[in-house]
Every structure is written in structure tokens, then in C-alpha cells.
Structure 1
Amino acid sequence: MALYDDFSWFYNRYWNEDFHSLAFPILERIWLPRIPEDGRVLDVCCGTGYLAGLLSARGLHVTGIDASPGMIAHARENVPAAEFHIADASAFRVPGRYDGAVSTFDSLNHILETKALDRVFLRVAKALKPGAPFVFDILLESAYRTNWADAFSVVRDDHVLLITGTGFDFRTKLAQCRITMFRLIEGEWRRSDTEVQERCYSTLEIDSALSRAGFESTSYYDARDLGMSGQLGQGRTFVVTTRKRLKTPAPC
């Protein structure tokens, strides 16, 4: 996911606070009560570390992983108290076991194949203690039907950002947007272009993948029912699941 390196500066500046100001109260309600006060938490696809900072401020020991060196560079600068690693979500390995895991801002929709999603869930399961909770949010089809043909822009004296949604393919379940970025650096305007794809998964596909990876007791929460209003909440679902507990052997 090297394409996010060019985007990391804009992401760090514009995207973190707006989303997590709405998402964090949801995590406080459906996930954080199950995490020990000084617990170890894994932030999967951590971006530039905004959520890791909120969790660290709670006294939690946070490890963040992201495939983008640019995102991780910002995260290390933003949250010195946390630990960050450049790693693919479908192939990472971390020492020890964690009391909980989290992945936010529809990060898992960026996993474009079911087999790759299986690998992500398997890696998360292996990193968790038995009985530990994993929470993530994911966009369902209604979000892609309504939001992915929109355009968005930011124009400032020293930078410009243009995002244009190119729609949703109902056959492949893929959505795509084009991102054009300009930054004024050392007196020269520099341009960078990229395309971002997301995959729409059904709840049945998510259930099946979680079960195959070793999760159980999965619950789904409509983001709007939990207070996330506006476009950010449209079609967004928070999923809480649990790493299967070890079975106690029956007495002889």
C-alpha cells in the first residue's frame, strides 16, 4: 500500500480528528469496557496514530501497524508513547498477546480480496489473548451506493487536495476514487496522483471470514444508531467480535 505515502501528509492534517471525534465515543461504549486499564492494544491499519494517541492517553499500551511508511512516520512523531511498525495487515507478526484489537475508518474495506481478508483476521486472532475483543468499522453497500460518486476539495495557499469518486461497480463490489494532491514545497508546486479502491463485503462474508479465523460472538452496530450522523455514518457498521476462548478439557 505504498500509494498512501503521498497521501499521509493530507490524511494527518484533515482526516483524523473529524472521524475519531465521532468514533471514539462509540469505542468507549462497545469495546473499551472490555479492555483492562493498563492493557495492551493492537491498532491495525493505524494510519498516522490519532486513535493510538487517544488510547495511550487512557493509559493503554498501544502497538500500531500500517503498511505505509509515510503514515508510520507521522504516527511515531504524533504519539511517542506508542509503538509503531511498518507491516501489512495480512502478514504482520507481533510479540506476545494483546488484550484487544481495533481497526477504524473503514480500513478493512481496503482489503480487496476475501482470501486477503481471511489472512488479516487470522493474523489479528493470533495476536490476541483468548477471549479478547476485536472491533472494527466497515462500510456496507448503502455507503457505496450514495457516497462514492461525490467530489471533495481543499484549497489552501500552499496545498490543494481534490478527491473525485468514480462510482461503485455492483458486479465486482469495488468502489474507486481519484486523488490529486498539490503541495508548495521550497517554492515549487509538486503534484501527486493516485487511485484508491475499496471492496464492499456483506455481513455474511464478514461472519464467515471471522469464524474461519477463530472468532465468535460477533455483533453488528449501525453507526447512526450509536451517534455517528451525516455522511460518515451512512452505511457504516461497527463490528465487535471475540477471540475464541480455549476449551477447558473435560474431567476424566
Structure 2
Amino acid sequence: MINRAEQPAAHPQHVLGGADAGLTAQQGYSAYDRLAQVYNRAWGGNSTEQALPALDRLILRQIPPDAQILDLCCGTGQLVRALLARDYRVTGLDGSEQMLRWARVNAPGGAFILADARSFRTTEIHDLVVSTFNSLNHLMDLDELATVFHNVRAALRPHGWFFFEMTLEEGFRARWRGSYGMVEDDYARVVRPSYDPERREARDELTLFYADNGWQRVDLTLTQRCHSEAEIRSALEGAGFSDIHRYDAQQDLGIGREAGRAFFVARAHANPPMPTSSSVL
């Protein structure tokens, strides 16, 4: 999972994927390791329950029964597990070592790679690459998004499929407001979302408590970018994709009740384009 985080000075700082904040990518992901336990309980399963019906309807019938699939930003591996149960060959890739530790527990039959989505390379060629749960919204720069798309194209066979999920403007305006929380026996969370339409930047201020030799507290702010559909399409085309389609989860697919949640499907050209200087970190 790709995330950026800023921390109030009163608590240890977490910066995820935040090279511009003075940390290397791997240092940033290592900071996110502390959140893996809560993420596994609170978010990993829910995101899979939302994405799998869209995959079923849009993609899985069109790939071979033994297809090679890459789950980009796989988090704690619940989607990897669901795809393995259907006899696909699945690899999960994430930048957080502790996320992958949980993923190996949740999906012991999967292969896993510790890498940054903005710089990964794989030796395997895949029939399908998937990325779910707003992972790509956490790329705050359009050039970074384009770089990831180039990396995905390089990981796909000619005419392979790319399926990914993003929140668009309508979703940020409708859902990034107010606050919500949850309390369980071994963890609690409070989330305060907000959205700045002028900067096209969403923020989730989180306070998490989890039981680990007493109660541990983590405070952080995750940021997301509202990339426009036109920007996403242009970046895909520049990376060597065509047949690009966008599906509204609620209106087109009848999935969930969340406005502005979109699934994109694209196909790789027969020959990948040469990356430009602006698309390589």
C-alpha cells in the first residue's frame, strides 16, 4: 500500500512514501510497519469485499484460468488470498515489510515482493495487474502516477490487463468530511477526513490505539491526491495502455454506496513505449 503520513511533533513522525519529506521510500514504508496490525483488522478485508465483485464482472472471465496476477500495493494480502482460492497464480507487492508479514499469514500460498510501486521491476510477466483501495490516490504527483503506470506496463504481457481503483472528485467531496471511529477489544481508531478542492488534496487525520504490551498510540495524517479522469487517462495512454474504461462502482456496477468510487480497466499495447525522463524517478 502506498501512503504518505505526517505526524504532529508531540508524537513520533511517520512519513510514507515521502521522499520529499526527507526520508527515503524504504524508510517511509518502514514507518508504516507499525500500522500493519490495525490495517489488517480494520481495512484489509473490507477493501477486498468491495473490489472482488468488480473484478468478477469486468476482468476475471477474460483471463486464463491459470493466469499470473500481480496485486500491486497488496497490503495485508486478503485479495491475494481470494484470488489464490480461484486457482490463479498470484504475487503480492508492497513497500511495507510488516504488511507483507501479515499477507504471508493471510495468503500462505502466495508469492510476495517487498518493493516500492514507483520503482519495482519483476522477472515474471503477468496476465493481470490489480491495485485496489485507493492505493494510487496516495501518489501525490502526476509524474509518480505515470511512473507507476510504466512499471505496470513493463510487468504485463502484450495485451495484458490492468485493473485499478481510485476515488474521484465526487467521492472526495461527498465522503471526506466529519469524523468516525471504532472500538474493539484490542484496538481503536478515530478518523477525521477532510478535502481541499482548490488543492485537490484529501487528508485523513488518524488516531489509533492497539494492544501491544499495553496500549500503544499512533497519530498520523494520510494524504491523497484527487487525480482527474483526464489526467489518469493521459498517463495510461503515455505508459502504453489503450481500451481504457472507467466504471462507477455504485452507478455502473451496483457495488457499495460510496459516491465517486471508480474502477479503471485498461489493456497493454503489444509493445511498451520507451519511458520519458518525466516518467522515471
Shared fold (TM-score, shorter chain, > 0.5): yes
For residue 71 of structure 1, the aligned residue among 83, 94, 99 is 99
Q: 2:237 is matched by which residue type in structure 1?
A: S
- 2-structure distance, mates of 1:179, 1:208: 33
User: Which residue of structure 1 lines up, in the alignment, with residue 170 of structure 2?
Assistant: 142
Q: Any gaps of 5 or more consecutive residues in structure 1?
A: 248-252
- 2-structure distance, mates of 1:14, 1:183: 11
For residue 183 of structure 2, the aligned residue among 122, 146, 155 is 155
Q: CA RMSD in A?
A: 1.4
Q: Any gaps of 5 or more consecutive residues in structure 2?
A: 1-15, 17-28, 273-281
1:86-114 deviation digits (Å, cap 9, x = unpaired): 11111001102111110011111011100
> Is 2:241 the partner of 1:241?
no
User: Which residue of structure 2 lines up, in the alignment, with residue 218 of structure 1?
Assistant: 244
- 1-structure distance, mates of 2:158, 2:184: 49
1:128-182 deviation digits (Å, cap 9, x = unpaired): 00000100011000111111113121113332211111x2122221100111111
User: Which residue of structure 1 lines up, in the alignment, with residue 198 of structure 2?
Assistant: 171
Q: 1:44 is matched by which residue type in structure 2?
A: L
User: Which residue of structure 2 lines up, in the alignment, with residue 15 of structure 1?
Assistant: 43
> Is 2:86 the partner of 1:58?
yes
Q: Does the 8 A contact of 1:22 with 1:227 survive in 2? A: no
Q: 1:244 is matched by which residue type in structure 2?
A: H
Change (3 A) 1:170 1:185: same
- 2-structure distance, mates of 1:86, 1:150: 35
Q: 1:239 is matched by which residue type in structure 2?
A: F
User: Which residue of structure 2 lines up, in the alignment, with residue 114 of structure 1?
Assistant: 142
- 2-structure distance, mates of 1:240, 1:185: 41
In structure 1, the residue corresponding to 2:157 is in which secondary structure? coil
Q: Does the 8 A contact of 2:247 with 2:262 survive in 1? A: yes
| Percent of residue pairs bearing the same amino acid type | 39
Q: Does the 8 A contact of 1:63 with 1:82 survive in 2? A: yes
User: Which residue of structure 2 lines up, in the alignment, with residue 185 of structure 1?
Assistant: 212
Q: Does the 8 A contact of 2:162 with 2:268 survive in 1? A: yes
- 2-structure distance, mates of 1:117, 1:135: 14
> Is 2:222 the partner of 1:196?
yes
In structure 1, the residue corresponding to 2:122 is in which secondary structure? coil
The TM-score, its normalising length taken from structure 1, stands at 0.92
- 2-structure distance, mates of 1:47, 1:241: 22
- 1-structure distance, mates of 2:123, 2:262: 30
1:173-208 deviation digits (Å, cap 9, x = unpaired): 11001111112222x221111110010011100011
Q: Does the 8 A contact of 2:38 with 2:210 survive in 1? A: no
- 2-structure distance, mates of 1:160, 1:207: 38
Q: 2:169 is matched by which residue type in structure 1?
A: E
- 1-structure distance, mates of 2:81, 2:176: 30
User: Which residue of structure 1 lines up, in the alignment, with residue 74 of structure 2?
Assistant: 46
Give, in angstroms, the shift of residue 6 of structure 1.
Answer: 2.4
For residue 206 of structure 1, the aligned residue among 232, 253, 270 is 232
Give, in angstroms, the shift of residue 19 of structure 1.
Answer: 2.9
Q: Does the 8 A contact of 2:188 with 2:210 survive in 1? A: yes
- 2-structure distance, mates of 1:56, 1:240: 21
